[in-house]
Amino acid sequence: MKRTLSGSLVFILLLSIGVSAQVKHTDLMPIPASVESGDGLPLGITKSFSVAFAGHTDDRLKAAAGRMIERLQRQTVLELSRSTSGDPAAASLVIDCKGPGSAVPKLGEDESYTLTVTASRAVLAAPTVTGALRGIETFLQLVQGNRYGFFVSPVVIKDSPRFPWRGLMIDVARHFQPIPVIKRNLDAMAAVKMNVFHWHLTEDQGFRVESKKFPRLHTLGSDGNFFTQEEVKEIIAYAAERGIRVVPEFDMPGHATAWLVGHPELGSAPGPYEIERQPGIFEPALDPTNEEVYKLLDVFLGEMAALFPDAYMHIGGDENEGKQWDRNPEIQAFMQKNGIKDNHALQAYFNKRVLAILKKHGKIMMGWDEIFVPELPKDVVIHSWRGQEALAAAAQKGHLGVLSNGYYIDLIQPASDHYLVDPVPSDSPLTADEKKRVLGGEATMWSEWVSPETIDSRIWPRTAAIAERLWSPADVRDVKDMYRRLDIMEVRLENLGLMHRSYQNTLLRRLAGSLDIADLKTLVSVIEPVKLYQRYQQRPQTMLAPLTGLIDAARPDAEGARRFSYLADAFIAEDQDKTAKPLLRMTFERWQTDGTRLAVTMNENPALKEGAQLGADLRDLGKIGLEALANDGSSASASKEWYAAAIARLEEIGKPKAACEFVVIEAMKRLVNKTSKIAVAAQ
């Protein structure tokens, strides 16, 4: 009797769940290629949840299942079985993998999967382990809960990526990023189905990989901050377990100062050289006329080719201005003797020599736009920072290519800007065959202004929007829905251990010297760091400066500003919307109150004093907003003079201070315009 009652209760509960459980498939990110909601009751996630394998099983797949169970436990607060050796017929989730695929992930590997969920079980079928890894991430995103417990709604998902190259470049040279940073970002990449970690290892500011053949490269060029070869292997293995390739970049012939600290004899001008402490573009470059350069590169690149298993190796090749070449009489004589007309042609000569070395060691060369010349062999991959037209031109000439223009996440642009950039836009001039040469894209995290503490906030969650652009069908372009799902993804990423949210409170408490940071939280919810390359001019710092100021606490795509913009537009569109107005009033009152306090406390705090005007500006934004709401209707106070003064003050508030800027100004102007017109009409 007791057993029958229990079964009936479970049935009733699951039935209740099923009534409201059908809409959550729309929370997935990236959106799969095909999603069909099923009928019937959902699959319950209870203490009896279990995972079993059918078909191929290996250590990588077992490890992935183990990580999945750990994450599911954290999410559900349930103690689940860690065993994956049970009978598939009795398991809650069956992973049916047809074969191992590539032990070390490679370009073009089949990443497809099919996930079928019914009330009795979920079946994840994939041709390779990598495909199974992608499906596991989707399954975890499908788990939801209500008062009755946790469950997955019935669904059939058939999924595969649009592009085979979906990368994140992390520059560890300008500011060193240690192993924990790399690992947690690899976890995040896997969660959004990215598959290429582009590791930018050398720069003017640092040489970050151990060379046993030429130890002066890393011992003298790194300030002691570099990855040993054992650590490199550790990262490669960690990435491979998550279906992620590791493509190293050794920038040459420019961006080469750190190379020359230990080997000045390879430079195009006499040494000695010192590690560069400033951001920017610098003159030091390898001497392309010096045979010793190619001898060292042959040995060094051979050493790195043995260390990094991926077929591709990136040589950089960007932003070499050739100033040292111009001043070197021996280089000029070499150019004249060999009919090399300019520095562009000289770099092409250098690239040709390096290409031969890489081919000798079994690697495919990849480089930035600058390496693209008509005579470049077709198997060289072009990495475009210049844009879609440059990428298309390379594809038309027969080259494979990857886009990063539009995906420079270090420039603090909103996710919406990145989201709408497509490697193959709808108006692309490319033929069907030429489009296939566009491999995908990479988000680029240049590290002039990030530390291990802040870097996550500059990468995530915005990079999830780029990941979706590279995985999902081209017609997935709803920006508002992207932001809705990005908010959900932000929590998922935090559950993985990312610091993109948690770092902010820590940094604000440090700046305030207090646990009470409510006012500062209000401020940073509506300001962002200045965008593009403005920080260079507005807050000059060296690579040794602490990145712990208010600008570092402020995040891209400020959540409060975005929500305010939606609220203001709802009020405007609904013509005095009754639900929006009180929320706006509460917002403006908070801005005025918190801003008034901040104008005083920030001025008295040496760590925050540079941003004290931001507090006063927040106060005035609240004041203008409350006046605008008071003008709404028949008030006679909304004169043309008030309107002009309000707009002028908003323009002034919109100017950057402490290298931060308010990102609510345009929404405030729209609100002022609306309420001013209503009030003036009423007069």
Q: What are the residue numbers of the active site?
A: 319
Which residue in this structure is represented by tokens 């995972």? 51
Please state, in angstroms and rounded to a whole number, the distance separating the CA atoms of residues 114 and 132.
Answer: 9
Interacting residues of 595 by C-beta distance below 8 A, sequence separation 6+: 519, 522, 523, 615, 616, 617, 618, 619, 620, 621, 622
Please state, in angstroms and rounded to a whole number, the distance separating the CA atoms of residues 222 and 230.
Answer: 17
Please state, in angstroms and rounded to a whole number, the distance separating the CA atoms of residues 192 and 134.
Answer: 9
Please state, in angstroms and rounded to a whole number, the distance separating the CA atoms of residues 23 and 507.
Answer: 38
DSSP SS3 for 225: coil
Per-residue 3-state assignment (H helix, E strand, C coil) for 259-309: HHHHCHHHECCCCCCCCCCCCCCCCCCECCCCHHHHHHHHHHHHHHHHHCC
Interacting residues of 537 by C-beta distance below 8 A, sequence separation 6+: none
Interacting residues of 11 by C-beta distance below 8 A, sequence separation 6+: none
Interacting residues of 152 by C-beta distance below 8 A, sequence separation 6+: 42, 43, 45, 117, 122, 139, 142, 143, 144
Contact status, residue 96 vs residue 55, Cβ threshold 8 Å: yes
Please state, in angstroms and rounded to a whole number, the distance separating the CA atoms of residues 120 and 43.
Answer: 6
Please state, in angstroms and rounded to a whole number, the distance separating the CA atoms of residues 114 and 92.
Answer: 16
Q: Which two tokens stand for residue 546?
A: 């602490």
Please state, in angstroms and rounded to a whole number, the distance separating the CA atoms of residues 138 and 100.
Answer: 20
Interacting residues of 617 by C-beta distance below 8 A, sequence separation 6+: 595, 653, 657, 662
Residues forming a β-bridge with 660: 529, 657
Query: What is the DSSP code (8-state) at residue 375?
Result: T
Please state, in angstroms and rounded to a whole number, the distance separating the CA atoms of residues 422 and 133.
Answer: 25
Please state, in angstroms and rounded to a whole number, the distance separating the CA atoms of residues 676 and 683.
Answer: 11
Which residue in this structure is represented by tokens 């043995």? 306
Please state, in angstroms and rounded to a whole number, the distance separating the CA atoms of residues 436 and 432.
Answer: 7
**DSSP H or E stretch at residue 417:** helix 415-419
Helices and strands in the chain, H and E counts: 26, 21
Query: What is the DSSP code (8-state) at residue 87?
Result: -
Please state, in angstroms and rounded to a whole number, the distance separating the CA atoms of residues 591 and 585.
Answer: 10
Looking only at the bridges linking them, the beta strands covering 155-159 and 165-171 are unpaired
